Chains A and B, each alone.
Chain A
Amino acid sequence: MTTNPGTRSTRAAGRALRLGGSLASVALTIAITLLGLVALTFFIGRIVPIDPVLTIVGEKAPPEVYDRVYRELGLDQPLITQFLYYLRDIARGDLGQSYTTDRAVLSDILRFFPATFELAVLGIIIGVALGVPAGVIAAVKRDTWVDHIVRIVALIGYSVPIFWLALMGLLVFYAKLQWVGGPGQLDIGYAYSYTRVTGFILVDTALSGDWAVFANAVSHIALPALLIGYYSMAYISRMTRSVMLEQLSSEYVLAARIKGASEYTVVVRHALRNAAIPLVTIVALSFGGLLEGSVLIETVFSWPGLGNYIAQSLLGGDMNAVLGGTLVVGTIFVLLNVGSDLLYRLLDPRTKAAAQ
């Protein structure tokens, strides 16, 4: 309106410059963290008492075969050389061969990851949709019965083991009531009535155009999604409550009340707006937790996800698969953290300017 256009454009330019600078420093952080992660998986791979040569050649192989494979794997080289080879392979996207599935680990991961991701996305949607409002209401109605109920529900989510809830859920809603589908992504009869396109079962079955298949997929994913959604909700509602309590007792909230702002304005426009900044990090952490902590749920529900894949590979002594999977999950976690940090800085006008 009355703003001097000159000032505004210099400001925008300065902001863009600072953003560019902060992106560079973020890229450096990511690179260093990932290098650390790779080094970690590499050394874990060397320390574990599983002989990769034996896994390939078998117990009864003659010594010359053993030696040949030993050299082929580069195990006769010094550690640092091995590490550099390892880095080079990873940079090429080569995570090695899985001995149990006989496929490249990367293609295995790409195959199993969508199922995990789909479940985690549904979980975080449920967690945010229920957890944020619950936490806000609990904070506003602090120490009333509403608050107590929210806290008890969250506490149960914290203290009851997830596999137990999963088993109970299957027992009640699948075995007894028949409200939901059982383990797996589909009933056996539907397994071949859709084409895998994206790897997300809900998307692929919807694309198939057969609503019976889609409905079946929904009935299968409902229980695991609700369960991890519940866990995410427990965490998010608790964190939202405490962040909101802090904001509600701040001076600027009192100042808003003094201006005559309605309770809704005070809570949503002032307190929640400020709470949203730390909440971004909380939600990202919760999502990362859902991705990485899905092993138990995936095992109970025979869900063909990454957690299940890593767990099976571990049992089979398939270290390439285990380390490759760990590397991927770790990378996603790092990216989530960095992404939420960037978002955090963009949301907060103080760091938006200071992000240099």
Chain B
Amino acid sequence: MTELLNVTGLTTSFHTSRGRVQAVRGVDLTVKPGEILGIVGESGSGKSVTCMSILRLLKRQGRIEGGSAVFDGRDLMELDEDALTDLRGNEIGVIFQDPMSSLNPTLTVGEQVIETVLRHRNIGRRAARARAVELFEMVRIPSAATRVDAYPHEFSGGMRQRVMIAIALACEPKLLIADEPTTALDVTIQRQILSLIKELQGRLGMAVILITHDLGVIAETADRVMVMYGGMVMEEAPVAEIFALPRHPYTRGLMASIPDPRTAGEGRLSPIPGTPPDMSDPPKGCPFAPRCPVAMRVCAEEMPRLYEAGGPANRSRCWLMDEAAPARAPYNTEDAA
């Protein structure tokens, strides 16, 4: 199947008073129609900046310095502002982490759905309002018909996130970007929101990029996963394979730091020691080298490329994938499982 989104060589930096922060350094990613791509990585690894670069909505100091992002046949990096605003909210919907601050406090929640519909659809207010009620019902906001007239402060966090989902899906986008959609919510609400996203994805047949810190969420929700670190793609694989056989030392580190549902209760939680690199002065070799338990001499010297590892859909940025690497158990690819 041909790709819905094809990003190549995306490079984004922030020019701050402390110098140039290289947030995204040559990211390639693809999303097929109807699939869920999970992106994981520690804080600061460049997940959000990657997505906001694709939408060309960076903060003031952000600059996209290279790369292309072909969405449905058009390179988003080449589109003019009018074509971009026609596309945002229409063909690409977005939900953020914090539903508390991403709704306008002075407009009713219904109005914020209606304005999105009116912006992109050639229909009247009455029809747009009916559509808002329909969307509220779809995201299961109780008494949708009256709740559209409420203000954001009258909603709980979970309900506000449902409003955000309704807004993002108002125009039935081909792609939904969900940037940590449940991080700010209570655990029980998290489940509800995730299963809602997954259900709607199935019903509407859209593709989803789901950003999260939580590998458990990825395991349950995504088809494919991309692991990011230091503004780069470290590993990419179908979900079933990455959990069965994580090839990259960073991915293994992430997995060791979450409670495994199968071994839950044993409480073996070991976060990766050390901290992510300072992106205003990133290491010249593998960004994970300072923290990697199996780092070799070459690692700090030279950047590993993305190797094909284990299958056509599997990539891993690690010197261990190189033919010249010593065959070291258990990090060798064959016997790690």
Q: Which residues of A are interface residues toward B (Cβ below 8 A)?
A: 1-4, 7, 142, 249-252, 254-262, 265, 269-270, 273-274, 277, 347-350, 353
Q: Which chain B residue lies CB-closest to A351?
A: B153
Whether the Cβ atoms of A255 and B96 lie closer than 8 Å is: yes
Whether the Cβ atoms of A350 and B115 lie closer than 8 Å is: no
Whether the Cβ atoms of A257 and B88 lie closer than 8 Å is: yes
**Given known A273-B107, A348-B106, contact A259–B88 (CB-CB < 8 A):** yes
Residue of A142, A251, A261, A348 with most chain B CB atoms under a 10 A cut-off: A251
Instruction: Say which residue of A249, A256, A258, A260 sits within 8 Å of B104 (CB atoms).
Output: A256
Instruction: Say which residue of A2, A251, A261 sits within 8 Å of B115 (CB atoms).
Output: A261
Whether the Cβ atoms of B145 and A3 lie closer than 8 Å is: yes
| Cβ of B218 under 8 Å from chain A | no
- Would you give 16 A-B contacts (Cβ < 8 Å), ordered by A? A2-B133, A254-B96, A255-B96, A255-B167, A256-B104, A257-B85, A258-B55, A258-B88, A259-B89, A260-B116, A261-B85, A274-B104, A347-B106, A349-B106, A350-B153, A353-B153
Whether the Cβ atoms of B106 and A261 lie closer than 8 Å is: no
User: How many chain B residues have a CB neighbour from A under 8 Å?
Assistant: 35
- B300 to chain A: which residues have CB within 8 Å? none
**Given known A258-B57, A261-B119, A353-B153, contact A274–B89 (CB-CB < 8 A):** no
Whether the Cβ atoms of B85 and A260 lie closer than 8 Å is: yes
Compute how far the CA of A270 lies from the CA of B106 in the bound complex, rounded to whole angstroms.
8
**Given known A258-B89, A259-B88, contact A1–B129 (CB-CB < 8 A):** yes
Instruction: Say which residue of B103, B119, B133 sits within 8 Å of A255 (CB atoms).
Output: B103
Chain A nearest CB: distance from B106 CB in Å? 5
Compute how far the CA of A249 lies from the CA of B96 in the bound complex, rounded to whole angstroms.
15
- A347 to chain B: which residues have CB within 8 Å? 106
Compute how far the CA of A277 lies from the CA of B105 in the bound complex, rounded to whole angstroms.
11
Report whether over half of chain A's contact residues are helix, strand or loop; otherwise say mixed. Answer: helix
Q: Which B82-107 residues sit within 8 Å CB-CB of chain A? A: 85-90, 93-94, 96, 98, 101-107
Compute how far the CA of A349 lies from the CA of B155 in the bound complex, rounded to whole angstroms.
13
Chain A nearest CB: distance from B149 CB in Å? 6
| Cβ of B291 under 8 Å from chain A | no
Q: Which residues of B are interface residues toward A (Cβ below 8 A)?
A: 55, 57, 59-60, 85-90, 93-94, 96, 98, 101-107, 115-116, 119-120, 129, 133, 145-146, 149, 151, 153-154, 164, 167
Chain A nearest CB: distance from B154 CB in Å? 7
Compute how far the CA of A252 lies from the CA of B60 in the bound complex, rounded to whole angstroms.
16
- A142 to chain B: which residues have CB within 8 Å? 60
Residue of B59, B60, B104, B146 with most chain A CB atoms under a 10 A cut-off: B104
Whether the Cβ atoms of A260 and B90 lie closer than 8 Å is: yes
Chain A nearest CB: distance from B329 CB in Å? 47
Chain B nearest CB: distance from A10 CB in Å? 12
Q: Which chain A residue lies CB-closest to B91?
A: A260
**Given known A1-B129, A251-B102, contact A259–B167 (CB-CB < 8 A):** yes
Whether the Cβ atoms of A349 and B101 lie closer than 8 Å is: no
- B133 to chain A: which residues have CB within 8 Å? 2
Residue of A252, A260, A273, A349 with most chain B CB atoms under a 10 A cut-off: A260
Whether the Cβ atoms of B105 and A349 lie closer than 8 Å is: yes
Residue of A142, A258, A348 with most chain B CB atoms under a 10 A cut-off: A258
Whether the Cβ atoms of B119 and A259 lie closer than 8 Å is: yes
- A277 to chain B: which residues have CB within 8 Å? 106
**Given known A259-B116, A270-B104, A274-B104, contact A349–B151 (CB-CB < 8 A):** yes
**Given known A259-B119, A273-B107, A348-B106, contact A2–B146 (CB-CB < 8 A):** yes
